[in-house]
Amino acid sequence: MCGIFGYYNLSSFTNRYSAMEEMSVLLQHRGPDGNGFHCNERVGLGNVRLAILDPGNGEQPFNSDDGKVSVVQNGEIFNFRELRQELEKLNHSFFTDNDTEIILKAYLEWGIDFVPKLNGMFAIAICDERSNKFYLIRDRIGEKPLYYYQDNDLFLFASEIKALLPYIEKRVNVQALNDFLTLNYIPAPLTGFLGVFHVMPGTVMELGASPKTWRWWDLRNQKVDSSITEKEWIEEFNSLLHDATRLRLVSDVPFGAFLSGGVDSSSVVGTMSRIMDKPVRTYSIGFPDPRFDESRYAQEAARLFSTEHTNETVDYNIIGEWPKYIYFCDQPHGDVSFMPMRRVSELAARDVKMVLTGDGADELFAGYEKYAVFFEGETKAIGCSLKFYEKYSSTLRLFGLKTLDSIWKACYKDRVDFQRVDKEIQEYIMETEHYDNINKALLIDMQYLLAGNNLVKPDRMAMSHSLETRAPFLDYRMMEFAFRTPGEFKLKNGDKKYLFKKAVTPLIGQSLAYRKKQMFTVPIGEWFKTSLRSFCREILLSSESRVLEYFNKEVIELLVNDHLSQKRNNTREIRSLISLEYWLKEFF
């Protein structure tokens, strides 16, 4: 796990060396164990390193023997040893036990076609001076971030936006703010900064004489296997979970796992305990309010698997983390579970440098309550993808179109396409007629909610404490398997994760497999009504409030008043505006 950064073909970028040094400092939390870079008048590749594999070696960039090809990466290639064996048979020699060297040799052997061979989470930059080509490559579902800025001859890239900001004119992307109020996060490729873009998951950007971008992996390409039986499904699922977990235990430093006591993290920890010959170190966060506290379930799972468990309880003072989590995200995120995620990361980072998580299982196997609610009745029978999306879009929205129209000040409205997100998702989903509607819903959430918000959370919050996270459920074989699965195997008669829970019950027990799901979040809506009443008004409605530069005060005031008087639950809307306020103050 690391951070990467650099530039390409910058005739006007004169202070290259000092710029690379500054970018490495801004990303140091992602890689406190070392840094290195290669730069000249045309290209710069830099890396800050969190040493997980072969800590004594592996400094990046990795360069070919003739110095013509250079590689940096952020992430981990979990099948690097299998690829090494394949490359050794083709007469390649290796000088480290590091996965980035595998990327270099794989590129030298197979060219850019090597990318689908990787099983991992990664953001990669490759400079090939033999062909005057430069590549940015992002993993299949977007576990690792990768941003770029392009303006005339200025092309910069980095793992986090903050490393780009000293060299560009910072301007608010008003359209992206509207997309944020639509979804509660800004979906890629846009960012809150005009001119800064996110490399899309599963794509390659090629720069050179003929710049182009193409998708090298797409979940929409899977074909549902309606012939598979429940027994066969359970056997394949358990085999995949075991092997995906096994691959993610390869580490040369201490590691552990996040354990909420939910079915996902419990299944990962249970699988780890079967593979490992020593107790798993596990970490969780609890709350004083029992309606939001999962710690008792985490303790139950910890006892079941005899883990070395650490738990911490937090209260409303955790809102002190809010500006910090916005800083490390670089963008507004209305999901306040980022705060406890950052705290549990801090807890784990005292002992370990890497943890396994249960991320991705809810989106793959229909774990959220909204799926059971939405698919009641005849929803499964809705016709084409467009008609389905028109109905499903209500589950995605934060602010509706009517509220968006009223909240923006008139001077900004002509700069906003209120339906941009809808049109983009509609275009994406139109190629999914071969899927049932349950899988269509999950596909949308994989591409947008998971990539745009739920994977940002573990990456940025854990990396803010120099901690790597790995998610076995996001092994590409598991993702492809999930979308070869009929929807009725995932959601049946309102039973979420129908076969998933059957598959893991022998491992984690009936109690943990079938307990009611609790969201990993902060009870901030309740705190707004009590201990944080004055905080709400002060941050959003005072003369210092930056959101009032863009939005109508009377609309925000109504949202706050209705919530505090318990007339309407506006928790999500208020916390999104607070996140936006912190972002504007931090970066502008």
What is the set of active-site residues? 2
Strands (E), 194-250: 196-198, 203-207, 212-215
Answer yes or no: are the C-beta atoms of 216 and 203 closer than 8 Å.
yes
Preceding peptide of 189 cis, ω within 30°: yes
Alpha-helical regions (H) of 44-116: 80-89, 99-110
The Cα–Cα gap between 430 and 438 comes to: 15
CB atoms under 10 Å from CB of 405, counted, come to 12
Strand, coil or helix: 572: helix
Q: Is 411 exposed, middle or buried (0-12, 13-18, 19+ CB in 10 A)?
A: exposed
**In one letter, which amino acid is 399?**
F
Indicate the DSSP class of residue 195.
T
Alpha-helical regions (H) of 257-415: 263-275, 295-304, 322-329, 338-349, 361-365, 369-374, 385-392, 401-407, 410-413
Structure tokens at 491: 């959601």
Strand, coil or helix: 202: coil
Is the four-CA dihedral 562, 566, 568, 569 of positive or negative sign? positive
What are the b/e assignments for 233-263, b being 16+ CB within 10 Å? Answer: bbebbbebbebbbbbbbbebeebbbbbbbbb
Preceding peptide of 61 cis, ω within 30°: yes
Strand, coil or helix: 436: coil
Answer yes or no: are the C-beta atoms of 220 and 432 closer than 8 Å.
yes
Indicate the DSSP class of residue 144.
S
84: left (phi over 0), alpha (psi -120 to 50) or beta: alpha
Is the four-CA dihedral 32, 358, 455, 427 of positive or negative sign? positive
Strand, coil or helix: 63: strand
| Residue in 458, 447, 155, 196 with CA at minimum distance from that of residue 328 | 458
Rg, C-alpha atoms of the chain: 23
The Cα–Cα gap between 122 and 92 comes to: 22
